[in-house]
Chain A
Amino acid sequence: MKIRIGFVSNSSSTSFCLYGDQIDIAEASEMIKNNATDEIRQLLVDKQNKRAENSTYHEAVANFEEYAESQGDDLIESVEDLGLKIYYAPYDDYVYVGMPYSDIKDDETGAEFKARVTEIFESLFGKTSRLGLMEEAWRDG
């Protein structure tokens, strides 16, 4: 049994439990530019253009290269358009990217869940064998 001594209230803390990987922020954009599949490139462009239709804050783009250029170092946040989550580690040079275990579907097995996450992950970042359990607790502020 795990007994927790001391308590950080919900208002100032959060946590995650993902199936995914750590990605070096400095390498993230290049990894995506070099490895994203054609299907994913088009999907990201379509989503960006959909946002542009609904908000003046976003600008439409002609192709993936233009989209990547417009996002700059924030290109890594494209993972959220694919259903993955991203968590930044303060004071560190990497981010956690993956899918919360609680997102497993009722008709999906554990193995199928991992395969689904792996497929999405690899369609953006390229082949990897590093995916696994990512679990952290954070205090905000």
Chain B
Amino acid sequence: MKIRNGFVSNSSSSSFCIYGVCIDYDDLKNVTDDTKKFLLDKHNEISTEEHQKDNFEDYFEFFMEDEPYTIVEDIEDRTELSFWTMPYTDTVYVGISYDTIKDEETGKEFKERVRNLVKELFGDSINVNSFATHSEVWRS
């Protein structure tokens, strides 16, 4: 039995339980060429002329310096995957929450769906053995 002593109310805390992978911000540069083009085009479309970037590497370096979570936000527009970033670390969790398993989907199919979506985004740069169940608690 697990007894919880102390309680953080819902208004100031949250949690997740996903199947997916845990990567560093720096790993985001390994997205597929299609995704790099998507990110660059999106950035240039909404940026003022002075902030336009010529290539993905410039875009990546620009945001990695101060606002790496912007890259995550941009990537999320291209996928069904969810991303959770951890303050004070370089860690990013990528996956899908278990509670979204569809009624007609098996546990195996759910995990395959997540792995395929990650592959769509990152190609073969993510080791298939790194997929696992991840659970974290956060205080806002």
Residues of chain B lying within 8 A (CB to CB) of residue A111: 103-104
Shortest Cβ gap from B8 to chain A (Å) = 4
- Does A139 contact B73, Cβ atoms closer than 8 Å? no
- Residues of B in contact (CB 8 Å), total 47
Encode contact with B along A102-119: 1 for CB under 8 Å, 0 otherwise: 101111111101100000
Q: A100-B17, A139-B8, A140-B6 are in contact. Are A7 and B84 (CB under 8 A)?
A: no
* B138 CB within 8 Å of chain A: yes
B interface, CB within 8 angstroms of A? 1-8, 10, 13-17, 19, 69, 72-73, 76, 82-89, 97-99, 101-108, 110-111, 133, 135-140
Shortest Cβ gap from B11 to chain A (Å) = 11
Q: A7-B138, A110-B105 are in contact. Are A87 and B2 (CB under 8 A)?
A: yes
Q: A139-B13, A141-B6 are in contact. Are A4 and B1 (CB under 8 A)?
A: no
- Does A102 contact B19, Cβ atoms closer than 8 Å? yes
Please report the C-alpha to C-alpha distance between residue A104 and residue B14 in the assembled complex, in whole angstroms: 22
Shortest Cβ gap from A29 to chain B (Å) = 15
